[in-house]
Amino acid sequence: RLESPWVQDTGLTTQIACPVRDLDPEGAGIPAKQVNLLDRTTWFALISAQEALEDAGFALAPHPDNRGSLFVDGVDPTRLGTQIGSGIGGVKTFEVSHAAWRESRSKNAVKRYSLPMLIPNAPAGQVAIRFGAKGECKAVCTACAAGTMAIGDAWRMLRRGDADVVLAGGTEGLALDHDGFALMGFDRLRTMSARNDEPQRASRPFDKLRDGFVLGEGAAVLVLEREEYAHARRARPYARVVGYASNCDAASMMQLDESGESIVALIRAALGAAAMSVSDVDHVNVHGTSTVSNDRTESLALRKVLAARYRDVTVTALKSMTGHAIGASGALETAALALSFRSGVLTPTINYDVPDPECDVNLVANRPREHRPRVALKLSYGFGGHNACLVLDAV
């Protein structure tokens, strides 16, 4: 529960969120001089990118020509790409800087670097600078589909031969108490849960008593490599991305096309890119926002596309445990899915108490389930009708 007076005293219907607390950016590897020059959305991206590179087995050393940057040993900088998604970007910087300007009408009250801190491409640019990545650097800004689309675009880069390694994922920093503008915006849209007295049980995808999502934040960055490159350096992959597709509902700025047909077409296109069929799929990591209409539409689409197999294919919604991290959500969920391939354990959808006949899918409910996927889908959708689907398989 958020205890900030800004939240408690302004009549917000939702007074809960899932923030990242007690983060020490300097202790997590961000140079001290840069901490106050970067928005927390960028903090998250930089920390996640460094963790991902180290986990992938890359040695990092101080860059010889760029103080404060790191050199990724063994990777041609011109063949190292960056694809980082964010739904909103540096909203904290925007909020604080704009408030200072309105109150003082003096430029001296506003941080000099507020503009390059708040723009949505700041995380992508800063990750590229930090790790000397001179290949294609792009920011994907497609709301809640941004992280998944960034990973999909990285896969396309690698298939075209435009890079050997790509840092790809999503980041969002908007859930702390004083980041009230984003909370207020979603509150006005009535998309968030009002289960203020039970915050730990508020996010409940596919449950009949669901009443909206819980705002989250964070980041996940994945290291994607050309398969030959990974083999040559004896990397140990978690999973393979083998297909990707994106499309648009072109129907509503906020709601999914309730027929589910765009999602059906999306899944078929992604499987086509992977040279696979629906019969190959045995697990789906869904968008699963815990909103009434979106969960119903997503369930309908899955039943349509999976047809007679819909009760055999397991389904899970990670947002039940993490909250909805907006542009970072798809990347976080893709990372969790990749870990399922490694561990042989599917993440559950918690808080599933009352089945909803309109959300009739084979949910991994409340407890993890031992199962190693063969082929899995990762689905994400964003305001504006942006839809994205990744296809992953076992290494």
Question: What are the φ/ψ torsions at residue 47 (nearest 5 degrees)?
Answer: -65, -45
Distance CA 70, CA 81 (A): 15
Q: How many CB atoms lie within 10 A of CB 200?
A: 12
Q: Is 359 a catalytic residue?
A: no
Q: Which of 137, 141, 287, 386 is catalytic?
A: 287
Q: Are 259 and 251 in contact (CB under 8 A)?
A: no
| C-alpha distances in Å from residue 269, one per residue of 73, 188, 262, 275, 375 | 37, 35, 10, 10, 15
DSSP string, 279-331: GG--EEE------HHHHHHHHHHHHHHHGGGTTTSEEE-THHHH-B-GGGHHH
Question: Which structure tokens are listed for 265?
Answer: 């077409």
Q: Which of 144, 283, 359, 386 is catalytic?
A: 144
Q: How many CB atoms lie within 10 A of CB 393?
A: 18
Distance CA 134, CA 343 (A): 34
Distance CA 377, CA 225 (A): 19
Q: Which of 138, 98, 130 is nearest to 114 (CA)?
A: 98
Q: Interior CA angle at 329 toward 317 and 194, to 5°? A: 70
Within 134-234, strands assigned E span 137-140, 165-172, 218-225
Tally the C-alpha atoms within 13 A of residue 177's C-alpha that lie toward its C-beta.
11
Q: Is 324 a catalytic residue?
A: yes
Distance CA 105, CA 119 (A): 22
Q: Is 63 a catalytic residue?
A: no
Q: Which of 273, 48, 323, 252 is nearest to 152 (CA)?
A: 273
Q: Which residues are catalytic?
A: 144, 287, 324
